[in-house]
Structure 1
């Protein structure tokens, strides 16, 4: 485990439209709470559905099958609103818009990062709300105790979309190809991945503690004071 007072940077690569991220949310929260004294969490939007992949849900016929499988494996809840939206088929999943919405929410004073991620996932995977609709962010702001007007203005601001694009570029530089991805920064500027979408909290904390013990242990044959 990290020594007392030592804080470690973790990067969580997440997409609000990623069903596996929805299934991973309880493990992430439990891990972050268990290691709250040692971890600083940065969230980057993955860009799962951008460019040519930003299409109506009807263009992704495997979504229902995927959600059923994820629910079975993780216990994640997929609500009636989500099922209706998928069945109707016209809503476009655009991860660039979702990334902009995330930046707009996280820019607000006093915001809780994990609660914000969970609220966005709930909006899509339970209520079936479009993450491209500005009205969705007013709803989320109200749920999170934030100013709906401030969030709406931030969502519409070019600087917020620029921050979202920067986050998407940062993910591409990390060369992460599957999500969710929880990454620990290494001394050399690289990243070590902790677990995967089905990794339970006990396994995450064990992997984190083992990694921190390994990197903090003195090398054999070196001098110690």
Structure 2
């Protein structure tokens, strides 16, 4: 059995799920986690952030439930309102980091969300991947090169297709997959204790 974590790097609830997933991986170090990007802000949803009038209220709720904080760089983006979140570019970044250090993708996906939600860095900008790489001990040149390759764009589209095949339309969603059978462990928000209870119940049932 492995876990499949379907998230979007530009999703605030996915950002709020970072501590839960980190704690779960800490408790179960041998478990395999596949990280898949969803396409939350693509097509007609690629609009200035000011068009999402609910953002500040949603962020307050996320902080209240999960304890994550939103940093000053991100606050400046919200105040300006012109920033456009592009999930295809963010997914390309996830695919690039996964290519560079596949065993560390849970940690690196969290670092990518930190870059946006704390520092206010664009996930469409190659320079962001240089910053994330330097902060996590990767080679910045290799990370930037991976982000700009066609393979990263293909990886992003493959992720979107994988999320669709799994029937995931809300982010984040954490699944346990045993063979071809996915079981939902969490959607939106859950504690590590709740997920472990569900995992144990699945293991007992099988």
TM-score, normalised relative to structure 1: 0.87
Cα displacement (A) at 1:84: 0.6
Asked if residue 19 in structure 1 is aligned to residue 12 in structure 2, the reply is yes
Structure 2: gaps spanning 5 or more residues: none
Aligned length: 206
Q: Tell me if 1:199 matches 2:198.
A: no
After superposition, what is the alpha-carbon deviation per residue over 1:167-207, rounded to whole angstroms, capped at 9, x for unaligned? 111111111121111111134x1310002333111111111
Give the gaps of 5 or more residues in structure 1.
1-7, 216-225
Who is 1:149 aligned against? 141
Aligned to 1:3: none
Matched residue SS, 2:36: strand
Question: Hey, which bits of structure 1, 4+ residues long, moved more than 2 A?
Answer: 195-198
Q: Which residue of 1 aligns with 2:107?
A: 115
Would the aligned equivalents of 1:130 and 1:136 in 2 still touch at CA under 8 Å?
yes
Q: Contact conserved, 2:2 with 2:34, CA < 8 A, in 1?
A: yes
Q: Deviations over 1:26-66 (max 9, x none)?
A: 111111221222x2110100111011111221221211111
Report the TM-score, using the length of structure 2 for normalisation. Answer: 0.95
Greater helix share, 1 or 2? 2
User: Corresponding residue for 2:199?
Assistant: 208
Structure 1 residue 107, shift from structure 2 partner: 1.1
- Residue matched to 2:3: 10
Q: Is the 8 A contact 2:163 2:169 kept in 1?
A: no
Q: Secondary structure at the match of 2:33?
A: strand
Q: Which deviations, in whole Å up to 9, do the C-alpha atoms of 1:59-89 show, x marking residues without a partner?
A: 2121111101111111111111111111111
Matched, 1:43 2:35: yes
Please provide the CA RMSD for this pair. 1.3
